[in-house]
A = this chain, B = another copy of it.
């Protein structure tokens, strides 16, 4: 009677992470909320669902998932880290400043520009992060 074929489990097994019930709960919660969540928020929601998951486990799981590249970690929230389930490849984020919706942006043809800017300062660019703030379709 599961509503979906549990692709979430594979997200774990695919990375060699044992799919324990608690980890799946965390993952489900992340999937439920497409946007980014703090560890504390996520824990709160689990409690509302009467999950006995401990806060430490939430942190441990999120760290593990981040390490394995299953979730993105965003630091745009002051002292608190935000986690977000996301696609595999290179991508950036579009964040709505009003409702905080986050959309993944796959397109990234900045390669040339980056190399250009970097070399102009004697650098070799190896990585980059772009975060675009704005208003989403519903909020503008």
Contacts and interface: CB of A to CB of B under 8 A. Distances in A.
Interface of A: 75-76, 78-79, 81, 94, 96-97, 103, 105, 107, 109-110, 113-114, 117-118, 120-137, 140
A131 B14 CA distance: 30
B123 A97 contact: no
Contact of A135 (B79, B123, B133): B123
A122 B135 CA distance: 8
Contact of A107 (B76, B117, B129, B132): B117
A75 B114 CA distance: 21
Contacts of A131: 128-129
Given A94-B118, A126-B133, 11 more contacts: A79-B81, A94-B123, A109-B113, A110-B113, A118-B132, A121-B136, A125-B132, A125-B134, A127-B134, A129-B129, A129-B133
A98 to B, nearest CB: 10
A140 B124 contact: yes
Contacts of A118: 94, 132, 134
A76 B103 CA distance: 21
Contacts of A127: 97, 132-134
A122 B127 CA distance: 27
B123 A137 contact: yes
A94 to B, nearest CB: 5
